[in-house]
Structure 1
Amino acid sequence: MGRISYVNGRFVPHGEAVVHIEDRGYQLADAVYEVWALFDGKLADAEGHFARLERSLSELRIRMPMSRAALTVVLKEAVRRNRVRDGLVYLQVSRGVAPRDHAFPNPEVRPAVVITVKGLDRTVVEAKAARGITVVTTPENRWGRCDIKTVGLLPNAMAKQKAREAGAGEAWFVDELGFVTEGASSNAWIVGADGRLRTRDTNANILRGVTRLTLLDVIRDAGLEVDERPFTPKDATEAQEAFITGAGSLVLPVTAVDGQPVGKGEVGPVAMRLRRLYIERARATAI
């Protein structure tokens, strides 16, 4: 059975899924998206992703295409039709289809909705976590509203390409003050020499990571301490450990930054413990 996608009210074979040429998401990046991790066919961190979706849409003045309850049904049906147990669900909502104009359509048009599902081999994913990844840094060059999860991801794509060409697994953006903001598709963390965890405050120009938010609860429940304050790439290489978080990466150890080892250059116990605890929490609360 091939993959099935959802496009504007219809489930269609993935290879036949299309959007209109004047969809504003395609022409103007006038769209937002969310990605849910799937555990045992269920949506992880569902509440956090729905809340962030609603906030992103509100910030761009795009109305919800359907109620949260209805959207939950559609997302779950997409998962069921694709027979995926472990993987990722991608949702994109654009302002809709209208003759190309920078200003919003008047009258308002119906938002356009796309959903895709793909499976992941957890054995492969866990092997990657056990090895860890390396990171390269790149100057922060994104727009001033990275707190909104829009599809305007060209700087992120360029950063990811830089990482790939360097043989790294992620790129960290670094601002004009020399601090790491976040990854191209993740939030950045370190475990300092004092054992305290550090990650940037979301009041800065970074995305309010849903995995990050859940992990903060996991950390507190585990009796660990965390400082929400920025760090530099040098802080990272002088730390005991580093890792990234995101729906796709979950909690993924980082062993080097710009070719310099983090700590001993090995996957550390704190990151792997937090990965295990996060997955346990995600599985237990998935819907």
Structure 2
Amino acid sequence: MSRTVYVNGDYLPEEDAKISIFDRSFLMADGVYEVTSVLGGKIIDFAGHLVRLERSLNELDMQKPEAFDDLLDIHRELVRLNDIDEGMIYLQVSRGSSGDRDFAYPSADVKPTLVLFTQSKPGLADSPAAKTGLKIISIEDQRWGRRDIKTVQLLYPSMGKMMAKAAGCDDAWMVEDGAVTEGTSNNAYIVKGNTIITRHLGNEILSGITRAAVLRFAKEAQMKVEERSFTIDEAKSADEAFITSASTFVLPVVELDGAAIGNGTPGPIAARLREIYLEESLKAGV
């Protein structure tokens, strides 16, 4: 049975879903997106994703879709219609279509395109990678300068994931001016002693919703947090490392560019933060 998806006010079988070939997300990557996890049928960190979506729209001077205030109800209906217990909901807003290709933004009477669909991921909370850890390579960060806006410009992150795959690894951390920015689809962390170190917020990285929650939980658990840049060499000498994202939660990193991190096995801080995040998120899910 096909999924039910949402396109501009309508719930449709996925095979019937269509947008214009002139949509600016297709022609110009002129769109933003969010991915929200579902655990136990509950939507995780929804409020944070909505705030970030609004910020992305504002930063690009893009209109809110007419259904903006109904997005929680739309998410819930898609979970219900597709019987999602564990998985993800993808949301995308583009500047819409004026019926032709033009570099200039369309007039204000052109409505944004709003699309949502679900992905069922049974076992999402019980990922084997949480027990084995990830192997990471480092690559040059060649993305545009406004990575704090969650746009659909994902070609280079996709290339990075393929570079990692070609190297027999799981993912890549991107490096700019000698310092790690972030992973291809996640925020990056190292641990030295009892201190968690992750890059400070700025235009260079995305302000992860899971990142914010995990750092809050870490501080509540009396863990020390430093938000600053770190190098690949510093990461290689760390006691442990991990990533966070909405679709992976917290996953340990055990190898970087062929060098074992710590003793080459998942560390206790990453494991504890994953445990806390899942427990607290399930309680707070909507």
TM-score (norm 2): 0.96
Amino acid of the structure 2 residue aligned with 1:271: A
Q: Give the aligned partner of residue 260 of structure 2.
A: 261
Shift of 1:121: 2.0
**AA in 2 matched with 1:250:** F
Per the alignment, in what secondary structure is the counterpart of residue 91 of structure 1?
Answer: strand
1:271 equivalent in structure 2: 270
Tell me the CA shift for residue 72 of structure 1. 1.1
Question: Which secondary structure state, in structure 1, belongs to the residue aligned with residue 129 of structure 2?
Answer: helix
2:59 is the counterpart of 1:55: no
Q: CA deviation at 1:107?
A: 4.1
Q: Residues of 1 paired with 2:69 and 2:59: CA distance?
A: 21
Question: 1:146 maps to what in 2?
Answer: 147
Of stretches 15-24 and 183-192 in structure 1, the one that deviates more from structure 2 is: 15-24
Which residue of structure 1 aligns with residue 26 of structure 2? 26
Task: Note if 1:157 corresponds to 2:170.
Answer: no
Q: Secondary structure at the match of 2:115?
A: strand
Q: Are the structure 2 counterparts of residues 124 and 36 from structure 1 closer, same or farther at C-alpha, using a change threshold of 3 Å?
A: closer
* 1:76 positional shift: 1.1
Q: Secondary structure at the match of 1:118?
A: strand
Q: Distance in 1 between matches of 2:169 and 2:247?
A: 16
Counterpart for residue 133 of structure 1:
134
1:91 aligns with 2:77: no
Q: Distance in 1 between matches of 2:185 and 2:145?
A: 17
Residues matched between the structures, number: 285
Aligned residue in 1 for 2:206: 207
Alignment match, 2:185: 185
**Matched residue, 1:117:** 118
Q: Secondary structure at the match of 1:69?
A: helix
Q: Which residue of structure 1 aligns with residue 17 of structure 2?
A: 17
Q: Is the 8 A contact 2:36 2:46 kept in 1?
A: yes
Moved more, 8-17 or 29-38: 8-17
Query: In structure 2, how many angstroms separate the alpha carbons of the residues matched to 1:250 and 1:94?
Result: 27
Structure 2: distance between partners of 1:143 and 1:52: 19
Looking at structure 1, the residues matched to 243 and 34 of structure 2 have their Cα atoms a distance apart, in angstroms, of 18
**Deviations for 1:55-76, whole angstroms, at most 9, x for unmatched residues?**
0001111111135431111111
Tell me how far apart the structure 1 counterparts of residues 203 and 260 of structure 2 sit (CA, whole Å): 27
Question: Is the alpha carbon distance of 1:211 and 1:124 closer, same or farther for their aligned partners in structure 2, counting shifts above 3 Å?
Answer: closer
Call closer, same or farther: CA 1:245–1:124 in 2, change over 3 Å: closer
Q: Measure the CA separation in 1 of the matches of 2:172 and 2:207.
A: 18
Distance (Å, rounded) in 1 between the aligned partners of 2:139 and 2:221:
33
Deviates more, 1:61-70 or 1:225-234: 61-70
Partner amino acid, structure 2, of 1:185: S
Distance (Å, rounded) in 2 between the aligned partners of 1:39 and 1:255: 26
Q: Is the Cα contact below 8 Å between 2:9 and 2:67 reproduced in 1?
A: no
**What SS class does the counterpart of residue 127 from structure 2 fall into?**
helix
User: Identity of paired residues, percent?
Assistant: 42
- Superposition deviation, residue 123 in structure 1: 6.6
Segments of 5+ residues of structure 1 without an aligned counterpart are: none
Q: Distance in 2 between matches of 1:82 and 1:239?
A: 43
Question: Equivalents in 1 of 2:15, 2:268: separation in Å?
Answer: 43
1:149 maps to a residue whose letter is K
Quote the residue 2:36 is aligned against. 36
Partners in 2 of 1:81 and 1:152 — Cα distance?
30
Alignment of 1:168-247 (within 5 A): 168-176=169-177, 178-192=178-192, 194-247=193-246
Tell me the secondary structure at the aligned position of residue 22 of structure 2.
coil
Higher mean C-alpha deviation, range 6-15 or range 34-43 = 6-15
Residue matched to 2:281 = 282
**Structure 2 residue ranges without an equivalent (≥5):** none
Q: Secondary structure at the match of 1:275?
A: helix
Contact conserved, 2:146 with 2:203, CA < 8 A, in 1? no
